[in-house]
């Protein structure tokens, strides 16, 4: 038996579309995770006790269970509560909630790390809560949360592979299908690993570059 990568590469157009789908899923889920995470963090810090408890339990449930189970519960269990979603929306929603709950803890820690004196000074000059959030909290918090946020973003790339179990046509689903069709399983899995490694490396490098630039900006300020 010989290692025949050319056999798998003959399906390059399909792999290319799968890669585009994976990157698209990741970008949408990452943006949604940031929005959800920031919203949960702000509400937990400034909301009432009941809301805080509900959100805390939600975050703990998401962080304490495997993503695969969450995906199955949403996709297969959703119809029992009147929530019927197609494969792609279900996958995106599950991935966004998963990432959002992790992001919320990072944002909450980052907001708490901003010196209280900066917020009090902003209140003294008459800034509203939204202005304080936009001009004080977010810029200072971003520098603090970027390393952990990058790790979550990298994790989301790898979690997109789980969406293959409900038939979302991303990299894992397509390349695994090629392996089954050609019986070149080792070649297919090797190529799949290289694809994810490349995506993760790009994301990590972008995160490091952003972190360095923000650190320079913070030092200059």
With tokens 């810090």, the residue in question is 45
Residues in the chain: 221
pTM score, whole prediction: 0.88
Question: For 220, how many CA atoms within 13 A lie in the half-sphere containing its CB?
Answer: 6
Per-residue pLDDT averaged across 191-219, rounded? 85
With tokens 């297919």, the residue in question is 188
CA separation for the pair 47, 40 (Å, rounded): 10
Instruction: Kindly give, in sequence order, each residue whose CB lies less than 8 Å from that of residue 58, ignoring residues fewer than 6 positions away.
Output: 40, 101
pLDDT digits (tens, 9 = 90+) for 184-195: 888 888 889 999
The CATH H-level (homologous superfamily) assignment of domain 5-220 is MetI-like (1.10.3720.10)
Output 149 or 3, whichever has higher pLDDT.
149
With tokens 């900006």, the residue in question is 217
Pair 171, 24: CB distance under 8 Å: no
CA separation for the pair 187, 192 (Å, rounded): 9
Long-range CB pairs of 74-77 (<8 Å, 24+ gap) are 75/166
- Token output for 35: 């929005």
Pair 97, 36: CB distance under 8 Å: yes
Per-residue pLDDT averaged across 104-120, rounded? 83
pLDDT digits (tens, 9 = 90+) for 128-177: 777 777 777 777 788 888 889 999 999 999 999 999 999 999 999 999 99
């Amino acid at each position: 038996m010989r290692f025949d990568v050319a056999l798998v590469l003959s399906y390059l157009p399909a792999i290319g579309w799968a890669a585009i789908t994976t990157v698209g899923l990741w970008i949408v889920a990452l943006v949604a995770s940031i929005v959800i995470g920031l919203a949960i963090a702000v509400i937990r810090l400034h909301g009432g006790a009941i809301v805080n408890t509900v959100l805390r339990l939600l975050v703990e449930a998401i962080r304490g269970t495997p993503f695969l189970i969450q995906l199955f519960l949403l996709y297969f269990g959703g119809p029992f509560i009147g929530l019927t979603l197609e494969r792609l929306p279900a996958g995106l929603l599950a991935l966004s909630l998963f990432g959002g709950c992790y992001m919320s803890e990072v944002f909450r820690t980052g907001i708490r790390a901003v010196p209280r004196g900066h917020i009090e000074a902003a209140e003294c000059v008459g800034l509203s809560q939204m202005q304080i959030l936009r001009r004080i909290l977010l810029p200072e918090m971003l520098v603090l949360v970027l390393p952990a946020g990058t790790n979550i973003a990298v994790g989301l790339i790898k979690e997109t592979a789980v969406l293959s179990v409900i038939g979302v046509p991303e990299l894992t689903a397509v390349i695994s299908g090629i392996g089954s069709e050609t019986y070149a399983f080792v070649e297919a899995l090797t190529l799949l690993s290289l694809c994810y490694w490349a995506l993760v490396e790009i994301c990590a490098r972008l995160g490091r570059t952003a972190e360095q630039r923000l650190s320079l900006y913070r030092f200059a300020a």
